[in-house]
């Protein structure tokens, strides 16, 4: 009878070994996703492979050190690394199910038996010592343990990709904060130079007023323009302080610990080459959010197998060996040995509705993960194309404002020269100075926005997690 039962079980396992959930297959992406980017036609970018350590393209040693500091000390990265260790520990736990489980047990009890229960020649009161070794091993006929290990591997890979995503964000935020520090310093310099030029105009206009060649109203007007420009300086100083404080946090420092070299940085680094962007296929392989979504889908697919395996019998081979001794003398002399060996079969049958409900839940989770993967692919392509477009238009805007600033500066010089010759009135000079101040401020703001657009493009490309995560 036993032989027939084992034959039936082995035959059933051969027929249903592949039934414990679907085998995972990587989801397909749209064929157009691998094509070159629409925005790659801009001369500001190239189709060369995107670079991991992209911030080194700025050739700024101070920026490189700040990024290294952020990768080593940033609190968000430390949290992500801790989650990797948690997932790795869960994987070790899942792998342990493939090994036999062992347990040692021992007990000592002082007992007193009744006269009826006492055996002849045995004291009614005595010590009872028990000891034993238990061993059990689950025969993974239907892949429950195997699928559990696959799910844990997927969770670990997803956690690693999430950590890469955090690194990308931290690197981009660090570079952005540094560029904000330097760009705001340049905007502050523009405002201070504008105020200095207007102070000079006030002195000249005041001198002309003293000799009767100018009206008191001219002095008031240029003074008002100077005060208006000067009022922008405190706000710019506050913006620079905020960028410095943000940079300190990103690099794991308090604001007081930020190096003086960072506070002294006033020149915004520039790129000396077009930004390498690669193509859509390389983007999807590189973006951490896409990789994390794909690994979560693999893990959830494996969990369907874990739930499905519960539909079938669970077979455990086990055994135990132990001894029981009465009194210290029996313990030292060796008590009688007992052992147990045999298989254990457990099967939730015929009521399997709860198991099928878990299978349905796992399938729904897998479908949701597939949808999240498809969404991550589309979002990655959208963010990159949008960043390419914003970058190209930011360059165009900066170039136009540079030309406008140059023309405004030329108009101001001509106006001042003609005023000295008495050929134009002061209102024309004042209007030229106001136009130049506005053009200078607009160009400084556009230059800052251009730097941010560069960082946003690098961030959309998903670089920074390769060599950076190993540095």
Determine the pLDDT at residue 117. 67
Distance CA 251, CA 63 (A): 11
Q: Is residue 303 classed as helix, strand or coil in its secondary structure?
A: helix
Cα-atom radius of gyration of the chain, to the nearest Å?
A: 38
Band of the pLDDT at 467, cuts 50, 70, 90?
very low
φ/ψ (deg, to 5) at 384: -70, -45
Determine the pLDDT at residue 9. 44
Distance CA 225, CA 194 (A): 10
Band of the pLDDT at 13, cuts 50, 70, 90?
very low
Decide if 465 contacts 164 (C-beta within 8 A). yes
pLDDT-above-70 percentage for the chain: 91
According to DSSP, the β-strands at 45-46 and 337-346 are unpaired
pLDDT (tens digit per residue) in 183-224: 999 999 999 999 998 898 888 888 878 888 778 888 898 899
Top mean-pLDDT range of 16-20, 108-112, 305-309: 305-309
Q: What is the pTM of this model?
A: 0.86
Decide if 283 contacts 382 (C-beta within 8 A). no
Q: What tokens does 341 get?
A: 């060996």
Q: What is the mean pLDDT of residues 286-303?
A: 97
pLDDT (tens digit per residue) in 305-340: 999 999 999 999 999 998 877 766 555 555 578 888
Q: Is residue 104 classed as helix, strand or coil in its secondary structure?
A: strand
Determine the pLDDT at residue 464. 62
For the cut 60, the answer to whether the pLDDT of residue 141 exceeds it is yes
pLDDT-above-90 percentage for the chain: 72
Determine the pLDDT at residue 218. 85
Band of the pLDDT at 342, cuts 50, 70, 90?
confident
Determine the pLDDT at residue 330. 56
According to DSSP, the β-strands at 314-326 and 337-346 are antiparallel
Distance CA 463, CA 49 (A): 11
Q: Give the CA-trace dihedral at 393, 395, 401, 404, to 10 degrees.
A: -110
Distance CA 162, CA 182 (A): 30
Mean pLDDT (the chain, rounded) = 89
């Amino acid at each position: 009878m036993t032989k027939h039962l084992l034959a039936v079980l082995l035959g059933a396992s051969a027929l249903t070994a592949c039934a414990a959930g679907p085998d995972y297959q990587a989801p397909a992406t749209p064929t157009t996703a691998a094509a070159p980017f629409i925005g790659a036609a801009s001369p500001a970018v190239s189709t060369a492979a995107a670079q991991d350590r992209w911030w080194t393209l700025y050739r700024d040693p101070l920026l490189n050190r700040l990024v290294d500091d952020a990768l080593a000390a940033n609190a968000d990265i430390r949290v992500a690394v801790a989650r990797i260790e948690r997932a790795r520990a869960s994987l070790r736990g899942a792998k342990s199910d493939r090994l036999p489980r062992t347990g040692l047990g021992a007990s000592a009890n002082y007992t007193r038996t009744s006269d009826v229960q006492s055996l002849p020649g045995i004291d009614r009161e005595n010590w009872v010592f028990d000891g034993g070794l238990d061993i059990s091993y689950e025969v993974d006929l239907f892949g429950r343990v195997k699928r559990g290990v696959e799910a844990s591997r997927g969770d670990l890979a997803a956690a690693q990709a999430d950590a890469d995503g955090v690194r990308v964000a931290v690197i981009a935020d660090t570079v952005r904060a540094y560029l904000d520090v330097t760009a705001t310093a340049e905007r502050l310099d523009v405002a201070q130079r504008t105020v200095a030029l207007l102070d000079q105009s006030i002195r000249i206009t005041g001198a002309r007023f003293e000799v009767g060649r100018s009206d008191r109203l001219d002095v008031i007007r240029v003074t008002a323009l100077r005060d208006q420009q000067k009022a922008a300086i405190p706000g710019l100083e506050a913006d620079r302080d905020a960028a410095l404080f943000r940079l300190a946090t990103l690099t794991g420092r308090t604001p007081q610990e930020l190096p003086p070299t960072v506070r002294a940085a006033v020149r915004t680094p520039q790129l000396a080459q077009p930004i390498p962007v690669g193509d859509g296929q390389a983007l999807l392989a590189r973006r951490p959010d896409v990789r994390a979504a794909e690994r979560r889908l693999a893990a959830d697919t494996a969990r369907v197998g874990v739930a499905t395996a519960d539909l079938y019998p669970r077979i455990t081979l086990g055994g135990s060996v132990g001894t029981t001794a009465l009194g210290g003398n029996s313990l030292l002399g060796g008590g009688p040995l007992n052992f147990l060996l045999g298989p254990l079969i457990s099967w939730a049958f015929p009521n399997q509705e709860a198991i099928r409900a878990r299978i349905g839940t796992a399938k729904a989770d897998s479908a949701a993960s597939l949808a999240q993967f498809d969404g991550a692919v589309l979002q990655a392509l959208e963010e990159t194309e949008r960043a390419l477009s914003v970058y190209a238009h930011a360059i165009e805007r900066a170039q136009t404002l540079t030309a406008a600033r140059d023309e405004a500066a030329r108009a101001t010089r001509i106006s001042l020269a003609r005023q000295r010759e008495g050929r134009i009135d002061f209102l024309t000079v004042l209007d030229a100075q106001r136009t130049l101040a506005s053009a200078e401020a607009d160009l400084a703001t556009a230059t800052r926005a251009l730097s941010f657009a560069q960082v946003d493009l690098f961030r959309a490309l998903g670089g920074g997690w390769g060599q950076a995560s190993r540095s």
